[in-house]
Structure 1
Amino acid sequence: MTVSDSAAPLPDERRARVIELLRRRGVLRVTELASELAVSAITVRRDIALLASQGLIRRVRGGAALPGATVASGALIGRLLEGSPSPEPMPVAAGEAGIQATVGMVVPSLDYYWPDVVRGVREAAAASDTRLVLRGATYQAADERRQLTWLVDSVGVDALLVAPTTTGEDGEALVRWLQSIEVPVVLVERAAVAGPYQEAMESVVSDHVYGAAMAVRHLAALGHRRIGVVTTMDSPTSPHVRRGWRQACEELGLGLEDAVDVNTVDRRAPEWPHALDDLLDRCVTSRTTALLVHSDPEAISLVDRCQERGIRIPADLAVVAYDDEVAELCDPPLTAVRPPKAAVGHAAFGLLAARLADDDAHRPTHRVVIEPRLIIRSSSA
């Protein structure tokens, strides 16, 4: 249970207590200070930032320590309680050891797409002796907020990696909350802006627009002139796939006026069989000979239905899947766009580690974009 700040000492008294505890014990983690002072981890982080800016303590990874110079704790505490001017910043002793960081990560699924992203983060975290606390959510902003709050307030993580919902009222509120908290945040496979000037948050994403366009170019190179797109409703990736498909079709002069352009339910919905038959009827009527389908399960289900209806893959209809999670298991194996999932995880952790190591408030925001790959198999050959 998160400790309420309502019974906590006054801010100056609390900060004096922080210095006193550091004088006694040396280096302390944020979680230890929060427990000792009966306040939230966010409150402790704010105190540490203020005291560090005054030169009274030194921020280390995951907590705080006193600077190298020796200053009597009583004098420091007195200055804080009396409101006297802060002393000049004190020098930091060379070679003073820091402490290991704890990074929290929240992803919307633990069984599709995200395991490879998490693997990339884990590998990078292990190489830097960083603890990773992973939580799975459900593509719902309220659930993501609950998981993130637990990581910040109860675990006391030093930083967050998160793939949040960013749309709708709840998603927009979640983005604002992420921008307001006192720990560094890097978005994974998501991008977001907030504030009066639409400031961007730090992020690492796959270039899904580029990936979708690459699939269209592949199909066009094989001679297809009617290339459709099928995406899944409510998927954060779908708008990017559709944009890449449209841009490539326009660039290549492929007709869009009667193109198959479907944004449908996923395969688990009761309406899926009917929607699938409607889609294939449209392909036949419009003489569409190729489809880009997001994601793999929907593409595999589509191929199965084609075989039941006597539509040959790829002779009558070429199919390219987007995600490449299970595309190879289809019969025939599906050509697929493979987002760089593990690389995204590596890069996201690297960005977060750089942010943790750099206390400069003026460090520019970084947005990293990584290109997917096209894996060619039998469904488009």
Structure 2
Amino acid sequence: MREPVDLRRQRILAAVRSRGATRVSDLAAELAVSVVTLRRDVEELAREGKLRRGHGVARPVTDEAERPAPPAPAGDGGPVAVVVPERHSYLYETLHGARAAFEEAGVRIALHIAPAAPGAEQPLVERALADGARGLLIAPRWRDRATEEADYAWLARVPVPLVVMERRPRRGSALHAVDAVCTDHWYGVHLAVEHLTGLGHRRIVLAARDDSPTARALRAAFTEIAADHPDVHEWALALSSPGAVPDPAAPAAEQPVDLPGLLRGTGATAAVLHGDVDALMLVQALRDSGVRVPEDCSVIAYDDVVAALGSTPLTAVSPPKADIGRAAAELLLRRLARGAEPVRRLELLPELKVRGSTRPLRGA
């Protein structure tokens, strides 16, 4: 006999209240119903205010840590403007997290895609404000520091609540006192280096981009960590691809993108590669030159967007991309609802996902 709907929903509420956030698919399997049926139950319970629903999960409303940010005041009207760079899969994943939070709060998004040109974000923001945007969530491209500095002044004058997502404005700048949410990339590099040295690797190369705030943060973090680490005997930096610089037309001022040659020259047995697509291409270049991954060289990718899809799935540092977007959206919703509050600069820690591209050094 099929279980009555009311009883099933009581069991759903009991499970969510006791466990916290719970996947809809797990609840469906446990209650022996289809995911579609379970999702309808969750939606109805959410409409009744008995729980919260997210992308594939049900959350209790009584758990303060999971309580949604206060919704924007009713009657304000107007969407929240979200500005992200074009063709940026990493930031698109953060956008999914932000979208879920805004949808749960009943706030409409006006999405603006910024082309790859210096200063492209400013006219988009001005247009959004003219169209009635009541808040702004933005992830500027900032290919170089000059572009970043040029954006500080006008962003600081934006007349609506503003949250900068996955960017860390320079300390003491005009944007220092603006809400921001980003990944702790220093910790991500730390995870990678600790994993490699723990496997016995003593000579490590970082092949990274140099055309984004994340890339520059990774390069600075690796330089600091590798120079100070007692188990790193030799280290080197290289570009991850010829076009991974702020101005692709300018000559590269450092090592060419010859990772096999750099590994031979330094005796390195491990590499950290940013970002995923560059990492997969560099692993192919290693293979073509006779360097096997992970037998001859352990590799860690940084971003974890498509790192797991390679012929050898890559161990990767995985920033909490969707959680960054959700936290940024909830911070903006809080600002819209409560107005004057202390400025918040949040950092979320990434994690290391170990796959098949790292192994202990032979003889270590």
Q: TM-score, normalised by structure 2?
A: 0.71
- Structure 2 vs 1, CA of residues 197 and 325 (structure 1 numbering), >3 Å: closer, same or farther? closer
Does the 8 Å CA contact 1:229/1:291 hold for their aligned counterparts? yes
2-side partners of 1:100 and 1:312: how far apart? 58
Q: Which residue of 2 aligns with 1:201?
A: 178
Q: Which residue of 1 aligns with 2:153?
A: 176
Does the 8 Å CA contact 2:152/2:174 hold for their aligned counterparts? no
Does the 8 Å CA contact 1:120/1:346 hold for their aligned counterparts? yes
User: How do 1:343-358 residues align onto structure 2 when only pairs under 5 Å count?
Assistant: 343-358=323-338
2-side partners of 1:343 and 1:139: how far apart? 25
Q: Which has the higher contact order (CA 8 A, sep 6+)?
A: 2
Shift, 1:337, TM fit: 0.6
2-side partners of 1:340 and 1:309: how far apart? 34
Q: Which residue of 2 aligns with 1:380?
A: 358
Q: SS of 2:311's equivalent? A: coil
Determine if the alignment matches structure 1 residue 192 to structure 2 residue 172.
Answer: no
User: How do 1:1-381 residues align onto structure 2 when only pairs under 5 Å count?
Assistant: 98-100=75-77, 102-153=79-130, 155-166=131-142, 167-193=144-170, 199-255=176-232, 259-266=235-242, 275-276=256-257, 278-360=258-340, 363-381=341-359
Does the 8 Å CA contact 1:337/1:372 hold for their aligned counterparts? yes
Shift, 1:169, TM fit: 4.2
Q: Which residue of 2 aligns with 1:16?
A: none
Does the 8 Å CA contact 2:152/2:173 hold for their aligned counterparts? no
The CA RMSD over aligned residues, in Å, is 2.6
Amino acid at match of 2:348: I
- Structure 2 vs 1, CA of residues 126 and 254 (structure 1 numbering), >3 Å: closer, same or farther? same
- Structure 2 vs 1, CA of residues 332 and 265 (structure 1 numbering), >3 Å: closer, same or farther? closer
Q: SS of 1:259's equivalent? A: strand
Amino acid at match of 1:339: P
Amino acid at match of 2:164: L
Shift, 1:288, TM fit: 0.1
1:175-216 deviation digits (Å, cap 9, x = unpaired): 211111210110001122587887432100011111011011
- Structure 2 vs 1, CA of residues 219 and 194 (structure 1 numbering), >3 Å: closer, same or farther? closer
Amino acid at match of 1:370: L
1:199-240 deviation digits (Å, cap 9, x = unpaired): 432100011111011011001111100111111121221121
Which stretch of structure 1 is more off in the superposition, 237-246 or 125-134? 237-246
Q: SS of 1:142's equivalent? A: coil
- Structure 2 vs 1, CA of residues 169 and 259 (structure 1 numbering), >3 Å: closer, same or farther? closer
Amino acid at match of 1:157: A
Q: Which residue of 2 aligns with 1:22?
A: none
1:93-142 deviation digits (Å, cap 9, x = unpaired): xxxx5344521010113451122111101100010000011111134342
Q: TM-score, normalised by structure 1?
A: 0.68
Q: SS of 1:337's equivalent? A: strand
- Structure 2 vs 1, CA of residues 193 and 213 (structure 1 numbering), >3 Å: closer, same or farther? closer
Aligned residues: 282
- Structure 2 vs 1, CA of residues 133 and 198 (structure 1 numbering), >3 Å: closer, same or farther? closer
Q: SS of 1:245's equivalent? A: helix
2-side partners of 1:377 and 1:241: how far apart? 21
1-side partners of 2:87 and 2:243: how far apart? 19
- Structure 2 vs 1, CA of residues 112 and 301 (structure 1 numbering), >3 Å: closer, same or farther? same
- Structure 2 vs 1, CA of residues 356 and 324 (structure 1 numbering), >3 Å: closer, same or farther? same
Amino acid at match of 1:247: E
Instruction: Indicate the structure (1 or 2) with the bigger Cα radius of gyration.
Output: 1
Does the 8 Å CA contact 1:141/1:171 hold for their aligned counterparts? no
1:71-109 deviation digits (Å, cap 9, x = unpaired): xxxxxxxxxxxxxxxxxxxxxxxxxx5344521010113
